[in-house]
Amino acid sequence: MAEAGGLLGDIGRAGRYMAQSLRLMVGVPDYGTYVAHMQATHPDQAPMNYEEFFRERQAARYGARMGRCC
Give domain status of residue 11, yes or no: yes
Give domain status of residue 26, yes or no: yes
Domain count, the chain: 1
Residue 2: what are its φ and ψ, rounded to 5°? -65, -35
User: Which range of residues forms the domain containing residue 16?
Assistant: 2-64
Handedness of CA 37, 10, 17, 32 (dihedral sign): negative
34, 47 Cβ separation under 8 angstroms: yes
Handedness of CA 34, 39, 44, 47 (dihedral sign): positive
d(CA 33, CA 17): 11
Model confidence pLDDT, tens digit, residues 21-57: 887 777 677 888 899 999 999 999 999 999 999 888 8
pLDDT band at 16 (very low <50, low <70, confident <90, very high): confident
pLDDT computed for residue 70 by the predictor: 55
